[in-house]
Amino acid sequence: MTGSQTPRRLSTTTWLIGPSLISPLASSGHGSLMIKLDLESAFRHIPVRPEDYHLLGFIWEGLFYYDLVLGFGCRSAPYIFNLFGEALHWIIRRSLPAHICHYLDDFLLIFRPGTPSHIVTAALEWCLALGKQLGLQFQPSKVEGPSTTLEFLGLELDSITMEVRLPPAKLEYLVELLDAWDAMSSCTRSQLNELTGFLQFTSQVIPTSRAFLRSLYDFSKGFSSRFTQRRIPGPAKKDLRWWKTVAVGWNGIRFISPKRQGIQ
């Protein structure tokens, strides 16, 4: 099968990044120690079954070459790799006293306040050893923690101030991006997808902002191809003005509210 022939059920994966990232930190509480791990060359850990070698081959100078592990261009690679990622997530969750978040090859471990630092350090060493045992290599240069402040999936997490922050460089880029769009009267679908992708990312730390993406997504449905140029409609312009107003006056910080206990 080619990428376009891969069934949708074998190539679609959905992640809830914002809520699943903020909620565990809110539940864990003030002063939680955190660890970040990143698998090296994620897809390349997963071997391809011999029956499928012919689907991943090419000829060069009269010789046949076959990719024996998952490639980054395969439509189904994220779905297949995530099955292994979920298994690793399950093993860690069953073995360590920590909240676990993972997005493909990135893992975040959050330990409750009061957990001794030597236990957190031992947990980190155990995770690295587990990776080797399973044939999975974590990148030493991207291991962070134990710490109360670190960056995960492009956002700064701080369990002392209980904040999630958009790094200054990304906040500056957001303002510049919206300034550029304020001067535009038309766009292509590729340009719009780039915009909505970044706004969706920043919506993790801007409360209620997802409501102001709706008109942009509605606008994106009318393109016949990614190269087609279309005028930006009024509702989309209005939402972009809202985003610009917020971005200019916002400090890039979202406070994490402690999880409240329900009344029964």
Per-residue pLDDT of 189-204, as tens digits, reads 999 999 999 999 999 8
Q: Give the model confidence (pLDDT) of 24-34 as tens digits.
A: 899 899 999 99
Query: What's the whole-number average pLDDT of the chain?
Result: 88
Instruction: Look at residue 11 in the predicted model and tell me its pLDDT.
Output: 52
The pLDDT score that the predictor gives to residue 75 is 81
Q: Which two tokens stand for residue 76?
A: 């189904």
pLDDT of res. 98: 94
Taking the C-alpha atoms of residue 229 and residue 117, their distance in angstroms, rounded to an integer, is 56
Q: Taking residues 7-13, what's their average pLDDT? A: 56
DSSP string, 161-192: TTEEE--HHHHHHHHHHHHHHHT-SEEEHHHH
Residue 1 is predicted with a pLDDT of 46
d(CA 206, CA 253): 8
- Which three-class secondary structure state does DSSP give residue 218? helix
- Separation of alpha carbons 165 and 174, rounded Å: 13
Q: Between 56 and 107, where is the model more confident?
A: 107
Cβ neighbours of residue 252 closer than 8 Å, sequence gap 6 or more: 165, 166, 167, 168, 170, 171, 205
Work out whether the CA dihedral 171, 172, 174, 175 comes out positive or negative. Answer: positive
Q: Residue 2: what pLDDT? A: 46
pLDDT (tens digit per residue) in 149-206? 999 999 999 999 999 999 999 999 999 999 999 999 999 999 999 999 999 999 989 9
Which domains can be identified in the chain, with CATH numbers? 3-165 (3.30.70.270), 168-251 (no CATH)
Across 45-71, average pLDDT: 87
Residue 254 has pLDDT above 50, yes or no: yes
Give Rg (Cα) of the chain: 22
Answer whether 213's CB lies under 8 Å from 203's CB.
Answer: yes
Tokens representing residue 116 in the block = 């001794």
Q: Give the separation between CA 189 and CA 15, rounded to whole angstroms.
A: 23
Residue 49 confidence (pLDDT) above 50: yes
Return the closest-CA partner of residue 34 out of 125, 157, 134, 153. 157
Quick one: tokens of 206?
A: 């801007």
Of the candidates 43, 39, 104, 38, the residue with the CA atom closest to the CA atom of residue 68: 43
CB 198 within 8 A of CB 213: no
